[in-house]
Structure 1
Amino acid sequence: MAQMINRGKELIRISPKQSNKIEYSTNDGRSWISRYSGTSVGYFHDLTDNGKEILAQTSKGLYYSTNDGRSWILRKRN
């Protein structure tokens, strides 16, 4: 897994300043826009592109997103 993934025309990353935040870039990382920020999933540790979904290992378990990181659903609690 990684801190940043390439998904289609976007780069998606865990914010380096706030690990409970997901950001995306459409200009190869020159600028970043917040996509998700919340405490319900805990802190993000790793991301991976799993085809139709993004997987995220967090401090509260394994989560997945089917909408490019806009919302997260628990798959397996720690």
Structure 2
Amino acid sequence: MFIPEVRQLATIVDRWWPEVAAFIDTGHSNAESEGINRVIKLVARNAFGFRNNDHQQLRTRCVTTRRARGHLRIAQL
């Protein structure tokens, strides 16, 4: 009677409802940390095969700073 995709969507929404309700109540999410994790994984994939782990860690730290993500704007002189 129901379309299988609709039933699956209802099951997923029901399973995640406490988290959805918490977001609606507070307006907070973990989107920023998830975005940083995505960037770290991307850098790790791009650096695959590099021999120096210290350079890979430094590169990860550099791309995840606030300035690199565009949060800080340098005043134009």
Which TM class, normalised by the smaller chain length?
A: under 0.3
Larger radius of gyration: 2
Compare the two structures and name the one with the higher strand fraction.
Answer: 1
If each structure's helix is expressed as a fraction of its own residues, which one has the higher value?
2
Q: Which structure is richer in relative contact order (CA contacts within 8 A, separation 6 or more)? A: 1
Q: TM-score, normalised by structure 1?
A: 0.18
